């Protein structure tokens, strides 16, 4: 089944032992156009940190409940790499600027 990433932003992430945050964004491989990572905002849980979770760890997507289940524990999510260490071009992290 296909899911629109624009609709999944904000879905809650459920680890094996409880909720850990929500989807903030997605990282897409520019060569294959596949979703490689979910950017998870854990600010309600471990205080404002955004971490990366591999898309291969997603076990289920419940669109009705707006939840994504992953095969990780809360501890594994907490120790996942920060978005700050991801290899992302600077221009992709800057806000858009409109010149009028």
Number of structural domains the chain divides into: 1
Q: Which pLDDT does position 12 carry in this prediction?
A: 96
pLDDT surpassing 70 at residue 61: yes
In a domain, 100, yes or no: no
Average pLDDT of the residues in 8-16: 95
CATH (domain of 51): 2.30.30.240
The percent of residues above 90 in pLDDT, for the chain, comes to: 53
In a domain, 52, yes or no: yes
In a domain, 30, yes or no: yes
Average pLDDT of the residues in 66-86: 90
Q: Which pLDDT does position 89 carry in this prediction?
A: 59
Average pLDDT of the residues in 17-21: 93
Q: Which pLDDT does position 9 carry in this prediction?
A: 93
In a domain, 56, yes or no: yes
pLDDT surpassing 50 at residue 37: yes
Mark residue 40 as left, alpha or beta (left: phi above 0; alpha: psi -120 to 50; beta: remaining).
beta
In a domain, 16, yes or no: yes
In a domain, 63, yes or no: yes
The domain in which residue 27 lies consists of 5-93
- Other beta carbons within 10 angstroms of residue 44's beta carbon come to 12
In a domain, 33, yes or no: yes
Q: What is the DSSP letter of 97?
A: -
**Residue 37, strand partner residues:** 27, 54
Q: Which pLDDT does position 87 carry in this prediction?
A: 65
Q: Which pLDDT does position 94 carry in this prediction?
A: 47
In a domain, 98, yes or no: no
Average pLDDT of the residues in 5-17: 93
């Amino acid at each position: 089944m296909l899911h629109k990433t624009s609709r999944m932003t904000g879905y809650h992430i459920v680890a094996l032992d409880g909720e850990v945050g929500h989807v903030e964004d997605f990282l897409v491989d520019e060569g294959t156009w596949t979703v490689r990572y979910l950017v998870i905002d854990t600010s309600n849980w471990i205080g404002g940190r955004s971490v990366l979770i591999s898309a291969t760890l997603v076990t289920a997507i419940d669109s009705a409940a707006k939840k994504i289940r992953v095969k990780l524990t809360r501890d594994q999510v907490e120790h996942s790499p920060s978005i700050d260490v991801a290899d992302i071009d600077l221009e992709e992290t800057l806000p858009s600027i409109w010149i009028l």
